[in-house]
């Protein structure tokens, strides 16, 4: 089956007029094939793996083809994927025959193991609203493990699936002498959809991954024109039609118990030493979820706690810009794309990590509510949360309202957002924004954003650019053929959204890129090549002078066996108006700097039982020189045990000043899986810049979907106790917490 065809290349003004007239008159979108009718089951499915019961008779396999390494060719192994449904559930069956069944990779049993590319897998991507932008992915392996992810933004501009999102669904898998077999059941109550004239239109992609061959078998036939994640792009999914789906409105109530102890150091009153304070924790709270309609969900939370969430990666920042950390907390993740208001890359008007986290530490929340889904043609997101008064911080209310809808064609959108943070001490920060995305033709898009911030009784005019941000972006996003992007943005001096993330305050930015990619010849060892040039220019608004500029040229390649590489050369220009501080009290003086460096990365095939990636950067660095190394490796020892590690080393030397620094970060991840229900993960990190070892151990017992027990141990150790006076304690904090919750469905 072919991917959705591009829009016809007719004159732009005529296309816009015709599309606008159709939209205003209520006409249907004319882009894409007619929805495929899904087989409706006439008998019950016994979820056991083989799909050999009566219910599956008469269900025809989907017409699959190989996507990689040989696009459009028949699969190397016999593959049958069946799709069916009844009034309550969507069903998939995978019959994955294998001529070497003993060579099948089955390397994980962990829930939500998104790093298990070394295992064979069976997945489905469902665009439940057929909006060409957002989707949910459900993936299983020969061990019956489950991974679910949320996809947004059609995976453009380096967007990635979010594996922290969870849903209710079931799977059964088994291995035989013929291969491996799986059955998947996804309740429609776990999906959000919209019914029209008795039909529900969704879009889907389904695939098989054969790890040892780095082969992906897929329906529909989607080329790798948009990069490695092309198989997850909602805009390339095949429309399918359902009738007679029963609209269920379950109420899911999830009470939780949190108990444990926390030990933290406190400086004595005479400031001569530290004492260890012991706090006992015993808390109760709950989350509740109710489907108001088939496409609108209300979430409630009280005494919100995120004790089970994995720790962030430690980073050392050698740039002039703040670091961005992704959201991992489940409460904020369902249909999180409804709240998205991005300017470019990490810059956004709403970043949910600004709620419940302050200065990198948890900030207690009384609770809140979240409404997300669709009302008619509108995507809706509404959020309110209230934080506790901690003494250091007053109680604050956080609010977000986001509205968005398709306009002109199925790939174009217009929307608005409002955010607020209001404190009981009278402080406030309120922002609003307007945005639009227009698919002009083919893969060419125009994106426009405007936002303003009002805070603490400041009397600027509502038309002032000091409190505003503007972005206009034109791009053609493809990995094969020509691709290009041109972006302009301007952020005012007083643009400081309390719930957002801004990397370039009080700057005007000009960004462009040009790429050309092509597939290698059939007999070549290579698979794809891509050449590119890009520029990131930031000017100070105050004087219009250069703040920084990065220019790069590079080459990316991948091979049919799964290896890949990336190389570039860069020119950096930095105009420092104040000294720049690095580790070991290393300072770069005020001046205008131009320096050059080289970058290279080599990666092994992800489908192997052993995976490694090495990254090197070397060259000039301000008025000195720098070399950095990053080595990442992982090994699947069995389906019960995974081991992974990362080592980063940065070395900088400024010989004219006799200064320099060397930093190290080491991360160790260990995963032990007794079964699909019981797992133990350990994440230990060392940062020489912070002189600290941070450990996070999590024992998880997940006997069934919706019921979890976590035993979590966290500790931070000071590796240089005498870096300040009085000497720091060996432990800067430790906690042992038990969190248990279960979901009751009515």
User: What is 34-243's CATH number?
Assistant: 2.60.40.1190
Instruction: Give yes or no for a contact between 276 and 259, defined as CB atoms under 8 angstroms apart.
Output: no
What's the confidence (pLDDT) of residue 196?
82
SS3 301: strand
- For residue 563, report the phi and psi dihedrals to the nearest 5 degrees: -75, 155
Q: Look at residue 540 and tell me whether its pLDDT is greater than 90.
A: yes
Tokens of 648: 């980063």
Higher pLDDT, 671 or 318: 671
Instruction: Give yes or no for a contact between 202 and 193, defined as CB atoms under 8 angstroms apart.
Output: yes
pTM to 2 decimal places: 0.82
User: Comparing C-alpha atoms, which of 170, 94, 105, 48 is closest to residue 639?
Assistant: 105
- Residue 723 pLDDT grade (very low, low, confident, very high; cuts 50, 70, 90): confident
- Helix and strand numbers (H, E) in the chain are 1, 45
Q: Look at residue 11 and tell me whether its pLDDT is greater than 60.
A: no
DSSP tag of 313 = P
Secondary structure in 3-state letters for 184-206: EEEEHHHCCCCEECCEEEEEEEE
Q: How many angstroms separate the CA atoms of 15 and 98, rounded? A: 49
Average of per-residue pLDDT across 590-616:
95
Q: pLDDT tens across 507-531, in order?
A: 999 999 999 999 999 889 999 999 9
Q: pLDDT tens across 623-666, in order?
A: 999 999 999 999 998 889 999 999 999 999 999 888 999 999 99
Instruction: Give yes or no for a contact between 439 and 409, defined as CB atoms under 8 angstroms apart.
Output: yes
Q: C-alpha 506: how far from its chain's center?
A: 28
Secondary structure in 3-state letters for 548-579: EEEEEEEEEEEECCCCEEEEEEEEEEEEECCC
SS3 511: strand
SS3 21: helix
SS3 678: strand
SS3 317: coil
Instruction: Give yes or no for a contact between 512 and 488, defined as CB atoms under 8 angstroms apart.
Output: no
Q: Look at residue 4 and tell me whether its pLDDT is greater than 50.
A: no
DSSP tag of 10 = -
Q: Look at residue 92 and tell me whether its pLDDT is greater than 60.
A: yes
Looking up tokens 């005494």, which residue turns up? 303
Instruction: Give yes or no for a contact between 580 and 592, defined as CB atoms under 8 angstroms apart.
Output: no
Q: How many angstroms separate the CA atoms of 268 and 165, rounded? A: 43
Secondary structure in 3-state letters for 77-137: CCEEEEEEECCCEEEEEEEEECCCHHHCCCCCCCCCCCCCCCCCEEEEEEECCCCCCCEEE
How would DSSP label each residue in 144-188? --EEEEEE-GGG-TT---BTT-----EEEEEEETTEEEEEEEEEG
State the Cα angle at 426 between 421 and 429, rounded to 5°. 30
What's the confidence (pLDDT) of residue 27?
35
Tokens of 281: 């924790």
Higher pLDDT, 358 or 255: 255
Q: pLDDT tens across 388-432, in order?
A: 998 888 999 999 999 999 898 888 999 999 999 999 999 999 999
Tokens of 9: 């290349």
Q: What is the mean pLDDT of the chain?
A: 89
- Which stretch of DSSP H or E encloses residue 668? strand 659-673
Average of per-residue pLDDT across 15-36:
47
Q: Where are the domains of the chain?
A: 34-243
Q: pLDDT tens across 158-181, in order?
A: 678 888 788 889 999 999 999 999
């Amino acid at each position: 089956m072919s991917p959705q065809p591009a829009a016809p290349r007719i004159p732009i003004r005529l296309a816009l007029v015709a599309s606008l007239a159709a939209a205003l008159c209520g006409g249907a979108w004319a882009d894409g094939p007619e929805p495929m009718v899904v087989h409706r089951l006439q008998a019950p499915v016994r979820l056991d793996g083989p799909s050999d019961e009566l219910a599956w008779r008469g269900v025809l396999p989907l017409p699959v083809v190989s996507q990689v390494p040989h696009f459009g060719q028949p699969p190397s192994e016999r593959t049958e994927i069946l799709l069916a449904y009844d009034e309550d559930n969507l069903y998939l069956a995978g019959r994955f025959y294998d001529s070497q069944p003993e060579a099948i990779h089955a390397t994980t049993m962990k829930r939500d193991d998104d790093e298990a590319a070394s295992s064979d897998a069976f997945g489905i991507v469902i665009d439940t609203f057929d909006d060409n932008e957002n989707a949910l992915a459900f993936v299983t392996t020969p061990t019956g493990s489950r991974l679910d992810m949320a996809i947004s933004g059609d995976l453009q501009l380096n967007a990635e699936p979010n594996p922290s999102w969870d849903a209710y669904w079931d799977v059964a898998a088994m291995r035989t002498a013929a291969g491996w077999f799986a059955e998947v059941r996804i309740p429609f109550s776990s999906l959000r959809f919209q019914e029209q004239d008795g039909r529900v239109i969704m879009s889907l992609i389904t695939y098989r991954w054969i790890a040892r061959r780095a082969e992906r078998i897929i329906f529909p036939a989607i080329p790798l024109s948009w990069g490695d994640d092309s198989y997850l792009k909602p805009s390339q999914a095949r429309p399918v039609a359902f009738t007679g789906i029963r609209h269920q409105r379950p109420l899911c109530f999830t009470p939780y118990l949190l108990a444990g102890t926390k030990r933290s150091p406190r400086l004595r009153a005479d400031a001569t030493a530290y004492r260890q304070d012991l706090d006992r924790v015993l808390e109760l709270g709950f989350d509740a979820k109710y489907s108001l309609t088939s496409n609108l969900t209300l979430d409630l939370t009280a005494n919100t706690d995120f004790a089970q969430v994995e720790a962030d990666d430690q980073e050392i920042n050698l740039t002039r810009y703040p670091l961005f950390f992704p959201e991992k907390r489940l409460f904020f993740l369902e249909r999180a794309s409804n709240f998205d208001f991005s300017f470019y890359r990490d810059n956004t008007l709403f970043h949910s990590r600004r709620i419940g986290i302050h200065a990198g530490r948890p900030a207690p929340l009384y609770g809140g509510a979240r409404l997300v889904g669709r009302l008619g043609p509108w995507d809706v997101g509404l959020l309110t949360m209230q934080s506790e008064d901690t003494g250091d911080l007053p109680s604050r209310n956080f609010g977000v309202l986001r509205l968005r809808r398709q306009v002109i064609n199925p790939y174009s959108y217009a929307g608005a957002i409002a955010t607020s943070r209001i404190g009981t001490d009278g402080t406030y920060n309120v922002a609003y924004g307007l945005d639009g995305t227009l698919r002009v033709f083919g893969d060419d898009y125009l994106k426009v954003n405007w936002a303003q911030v009002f805070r603490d009784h400041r009397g600027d005019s509502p038309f002032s650019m000091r409190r505003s941000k503007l972005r206009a972006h034109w791009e053609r996003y493809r990995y094969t053929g020509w691709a290009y992007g041109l972006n302009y943005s301007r952020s005012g001096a007083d643009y400081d959204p309390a719930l957002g993330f801004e990397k370039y305050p009080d700057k005007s930015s000009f960004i462009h890129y040009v790429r050309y990619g092509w597939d290698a010849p059939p007999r070549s060892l290579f698979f794809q090549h891509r050449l590119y040039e890009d520029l990131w220019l930031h000017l100070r608004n105050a004087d219009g002078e250069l703040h920084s500029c990065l220019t790069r040229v590079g080459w990316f390649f991948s091979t049919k066996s799964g290896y890949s590489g990336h190389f570039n050369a860069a020119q950096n220009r930095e105009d420092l108006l104040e000294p720049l501080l690095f580790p070991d009290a290393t300072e770069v003086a005020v001046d205008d700097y131009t320096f050059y460096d080289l970058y290279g990365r080599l990666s092994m095939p992800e489908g192997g039982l052993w995976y490694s990636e090495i990254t090197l950067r070397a060259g000039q660095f301000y008025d000195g020189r720098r070399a950095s190394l990053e080595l990442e490796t992982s090994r699947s020892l069995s389906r019960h045990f995974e081991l992974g590690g990362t080592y980063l080393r940065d070395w900088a030397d400024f010989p004219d000043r006799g200064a320099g620094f060397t930093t190290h970060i080491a991360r160790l991840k260990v995963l032990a899986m007794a079964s699909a229900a019981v797992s133990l993960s350990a994440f230990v990190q060392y940062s020489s810049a912070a002189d600290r070892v941070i450990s996070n151990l999590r024992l998880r017992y997940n006997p069934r979907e919706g019921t979890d027990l976590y035993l979590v141990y966290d500790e931070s150790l000071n590796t240089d106790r005498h870096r300040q006076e009085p000497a720091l304690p060996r432990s800067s904090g430790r906690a042992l917490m038990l969190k248990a919750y279960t979901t009751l469905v009515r």
